[in-house]
Amino acid sequence: METIRIGIVGYGNVGRGVELAVGANPDMRLEGVFTRRSPGSVTVMDASVPVMHVSEAAGKREDIDVMILAGGSATDLPVQGPEFAALFNVVDSYDTHAKIPEYFESVDRAARGASRVAVIAAGWDPGLFSMNRVIAGALLPSGACHTFWGRGVSQGHSDAIRRIKGVTGGVQYTIPLEEAMHKARVGESPGLSSKEMHLRDCYVVVEEGADRARIEREIQTMPYYFAEYETRVTFVTGEELRAKHSSMPHGGFVIGSGRTGRQGSSNQVMEFSLKLDSNPEFTACVLTAYARAAYRMHREGQEGAKTVFDVPVGHLSPKSPAELRKELL
Amino acid sequence: METIRIGIVGYGNVGRGVELAVGANPDMRLEGVFTRRSPGSVTVMDASVPVMHVSEAAGKREDIDVMILAGGSATDLPVQGPEFAALFNVVDSYDTHAKIPEYFESVDRAARGASRVAVIAAGWDPGLFSMNRVIAGALLPSGACHTFWGRGVSQGHSDAIRRIKGVTGGVQYTIPLEEAMHKARVGESPGLSSKEMHLRDCYVVVEEGADRARIEREIQTMPYYFAEYETRVTFVTGEELRAKHSSMPHGGFVIGSGRTGRQGSSNQVMEFSLKLDSNPEFTACVLTAYARAAYRMHREGQEGAKTVFDVPVGHLSPKSPAELRKELL
């Protein structure tokens, strides 16, 4: 079995998950972790893996087949994506949906110039969920497809709570509404909006003597984040927040439905769902499988930016095409 | 928008579904239906579509971009697959799992010889379910993936019931067991067997005066089909069978789960499910979307037999790659 040599850029929650995921795949070996911090300050789980400063990465072009970019979408990837795609095959989980087209273009240019493959936005949404949206739309063109998120922690909404005066801690769970999920399955109300589909459940720690009524009102009326949604606020102590709300679960549902038959008499429902105890660790699993695909596509002579829409599913597996047909088709 | 010219070989339940599915896709046009019956005896829904004998198909090579083979796997496809792949780009839903490798080889040889693309086994299982099995295995390599079928009619088991002496009609539903689905989700019992996962529910019509106890016993002890399973038998009248059990629902669940994290503390669950009022109509939708992919892969210069593992998901959609990235990623 050939060995795919992997590098990781960025060692946060996702980067740590990638280290574990690479270790779980016998056809891969972790060659190094690259960080913008002082390398001596970063301790990886496998002590035999070298930790280097990102500035040293360019010198490792011959030693790494695929670099997995584990940084954030807000500031890390817009710079690192094109920078590393000009040097390595890369994979990332860029997730700012609205800016994907421009990010794709910038990474595509860099990767083509270097004859490298760059798989962008390869997490679960964007990523696996996106694939299911495309399949549902292609198979049931007159149907509708809805994406529900949760139950899971939304980092953006949790941050928004914590910016309110008097708040010292907070976690927001996005929860899909059962009734809306039922409507999506039976094909009613094709145009469900996000606020009709989700509940926002907030656990908030406040300073002593803070005005809870004012804080609850500020959360529930915050434009864009909460105002349009059914929003529940529960005040908890700092200890409760740490004990019960410090893990990072997430998940969701992509529900496609449509009618077939001469009189549209048959309802057909496709559903893909994830229930994840750890969002970053699962994202790391997706990134690692797509690293294998990037390696293969590069070997086939492909180049440029790719998304989950461009990658044949068989490329994710360590099994050969013949094994896959025999064992899993 | 360019138009993909489609032909259908075989006009049974799936063939009729393909006619409707092609009509629902504005980038496709149905050029003809080919049958082994006397063409005059076959009435298609759209009277403007010509019905021809299969022997006329070779003369239409220039007029049809993709031929959708809607015949059965037992006797039709082993002959028609290689025969038509030597003349056209083709798509089929060949579903005899055990014989897929040899079928693939025979179609691959024919398609390569003619520089055509042949997508085989493109239904929901094999097909969409297979893709999810591969994704689950690639993302969670130390986890387990289980496929549950149902609730749905199994043609093979229904036929087996009808062969029993004294039986005049019968329908068998395969039903997934909730408890086993729960075990698959929580990651217990990785080696669940089919009999631990499914219940067999039979509705049986018998001749007047038939020995019901003997028939029930013969069903429940029938080797391979029923003996190992929990099997329920309900006797009904011929009218009841027609009224309540003549539709063709089906579906099922692919449940992948695995643990991540340093101590394996995070359970991660992926689940894909289908709930289909009409099995053949949905299979037709899958075939039709893969016809679009076959057309595109042929235009890219690809050739030979392909499966759902080889086809990038984006090729199923009428939207351009840039539209898909902007709208659905």
- The predicted-structure confidence for A256-297, as pLDDT tens digits, reads as follows 999 999 999 999 999 999 999 999 999 999 999 999 999 999
Position B189 scores a pLDDT of 67
CB-CB neighbors (< 8 A) of A326 in chain B: 100-101
For range B180-202, the mean pLDDT:
90
**What is the distance in angstroms between the Cα of B203 and the nearest Cα belonging to chain A?**
22
- Close Cβ partners of A196 (under 8 Å, ≥ 6 residues apart): A177, A180, A189
Q: Is A276 exposed, middle or buried (0-12, 13-18, 19+ CB in 10 A)?
A: buried
Closest-CA distance of chain B to residue A216, Å: 32
B146-180 pLDDT, tens per residue? 999 999 998 889 999 999 999 999 999 999 999 99
Nearest-angstrom CA–CA distance, A276 and B138: 16
Would you state the pLDDT for residue B248? 87
Beta bridge pairs of residue B311: none
CA distance to B1, B6, B25, per residue, from B91 (Å): 22, 11, 16
Residue type, A327: E
Task: Write the pLDDT tens digit of every residue in B204-262.
Answer: 999 999 999 999 999 999 998 999 999 999 999 999 999 999 988 999 999 999 999 99
| Distances in whole angstroms, Cα of residue B302 to Cα of each of A253, B62, B115, B123, B237 | 34, 18, 8, 21, 54
- Given this model, what pLDDT does residue B190 score? 72
**What is the structure's pLDDT at B191?**
83
For residue A90, give every residue at least 6 positions away whose Cβ sits within 8 Å of its Cβ, in sequence order, or none.
Answer: A66, A67, A68, A69, A81, A84, A107, A111, A116, A117, A118, A119, A294
Q: Report percent pLDDT > 70 for chain B.
A: 100
pLDDT of residue A21: 98
A319 contacts: CB under 8 Å, gap ≥ 6: A327, A328, B137
pTM of the entire predicted model: 0.95
Peptide bond into A223 cis (omega under 30): no
Which amino acid, residue B265?
S
Q: Which residues of A touch B99 (CB under 8 A)?
A: none
Residue B47 has pLDDT above 80, yes or no: yes
| B241: Cα within 13 Å, side-chain hemisphere | 20
How distant, in Å, are the alpha carbons of A161, A223, B95, B215, B237 from that of B111?
A: 60, 58, 19, 48, 49
Chain A positions touching B24 (Cβ under 8 A) are: 141-142
Place of tokens 């149907």: A143
Q: Which strand (E) or helix (H) includes residue B133?
A: helix B128-139
| Closest Cα in chain B, distance from residue A29 (Å) | 15
* Average pLDDT of the residues of chain B: 96
- CB–CB contact A282 B268 (8 Å): yes
Show the low-confidence residues of chain A (pLDDT under 50): none
